[in-house]
Amino acid sequence: MIKGEQKTIDEIEGMIADYRKILVVGCGTCVTICFVGGEKEVANLASSLRIKERVKKGDKIIEEAIVKRQCEREFIAEIAEKVRDADAVLSLACSIGAQAMAENFPDKPVLPGVNTTFLGLIEEPGKWSEVCSACGDCIIHLTGGICPVTRCAKSLFNGPCGGSADGKCEISPDVPCAWQQIYDRLAAQNRLHLMDSVFPVRNWRSFSAIGPRRIAREDLQVPKAEETT
C-alpha cells in the first residue's frame, strides 16, 4: 500500500494563500486506508481551513470532493465540473493521484496536501513501515521474503554490516537489522546457504539508472485503427 502523511496545516495554508476557491479532493484508495486523504480527512481538513478563514475574516471558499481512485482518468472525470469551478485543487491523494489531477486539468494549479511517504505495511494500528522501493528487480526469493534494498539502511546486498547488534540496525534501536531478519528467516527455512555466495553488483537499470521508467505492453494496447482509404 502507498503510505502518505498529511502536510501541516500551516504549510497547506501557505500553499492556498493565493487562491480564493479551493477544491479539496480526497481519494478512496490507499490514502483512505492509511487515514490521510479519505472522505473523513477531506471533511476535517476543509472544516479546519474554513474555521481559520472565518477567524481571519477572509473570503476563501473551501469545497470538497472525493474520487474512488484519483490516479485514474475515468474516476477523475466525474468531478470535472467542480474542478473547473475552483481556482486551485488541493489534493489529498498520493503524488500519483495529485499528478493525475494535474495531467487531466493542465490549466488548474494542483497543490499537494499529502506527502507520499513510502510503500509499506501496517505493523499494528497506527504504525506503518516501508518494505518496498519499487526498484523493479525483486530478489526476495533469495532473502527470505525481506527486501534489503529497502529495509537495510545501507541497501546492502551482502549484509549484515559491522553495525548489526542484538537484532538492531546501527542507525537506531527502533530499527530492526534487515540482514539479521533475513538470516533468521533463512535459518528457519534451512536455506542459509543463500547467504554464502557473493551477491553480484546490482544493475540499476530497472530503478534509477534510466530516468523515469515506463512499461509498454502490446497485449493491452488498443490496436491502431487500420487505414481505410
Partner 1 sequence: MKSGTNLEKVLDSGAFAVTAEVGPPKSCSASPVERKGEAIKDYTDSLNITDNQTAIVRLSSVAGCVILKRIGVDPVMQIVCRDRNRIAIQSDVLGAVALGIGNFLCLSGDHQKFGNHPTSKNVFDLDSIQLIQNLKMMRDEHKFLCGEDVSGDVPLYIGAAENPYADPFEFRVNRLAKKINAGADFIQTQAIYDMPKFEKWMKMIVDRGLHEKVHILAGIIPIKSAGMAKYMRDCVSGVSVPDEIIKRMKDAKDPKEEGANIVIEIIEKVKKIEGVHGIHIMAVGWEDSVPVIVKKAGLFPRPAKQAAVN
| 177 belongs to the binding site for partner 1 (CB under 8 A) | yes
Could you say which of 156, 185, 194, 206 contacts partner 1 (CB under 8 A)?
156
Helix (H, G, I), strand (E, B) or coil at 25: strand
Cell numbers for 207? 530503478
Could you say which of 130, 135, 199, 206 contacts partner 1 (CB under 8 A)?
199
| 157 belongs to the binding site for partner 1 (CB under 8 A) | yes
* Residues 73/74/76/82 CA torsion (nearest 10 deg): 130
| 197 belongs to the binding site for partner 1 (CB under 8 A) | yes
**By the 8 A CB rule, do 73 and 101 touch?**
no
Restricted to residues 94-153, the positions that interact with partner 1 (CB under 8 A) are: 153
Could you say which of 125, 126, 162, 212 contacts partner 1 (CB under 8 A)?
162
| 196 belongs to the binding site for partner 1 (CB under 8 A) | yes
Restricted to residues 44-103, the positions that interact with partner 1 (CB under 8 A) are: none
Give the strand pairing for 168-169 and 172-176: antiparallel
| 159 belongs to the binding site for partner 1 (CB under 8 A) | yes
**By the 8 A CB rule, do 50 and 90 touch?**
no
| 164 belongs to the binding site for partner 1 (CB under 8 A) | yes
Phi/psi of residue 161, nearest 5 degrees: -75, 180
| 180 belongs to the binding site for partner 1 (CB under 8 A) | yes
* Residues 63/68/72/75 CA torsion (nearest 10 deg): -70
Q: Which residues make up the interface to partner 1 (CB under 8 A)?
A: 153-167, 170-172, 177, 180, 183-184, 195-202, 204
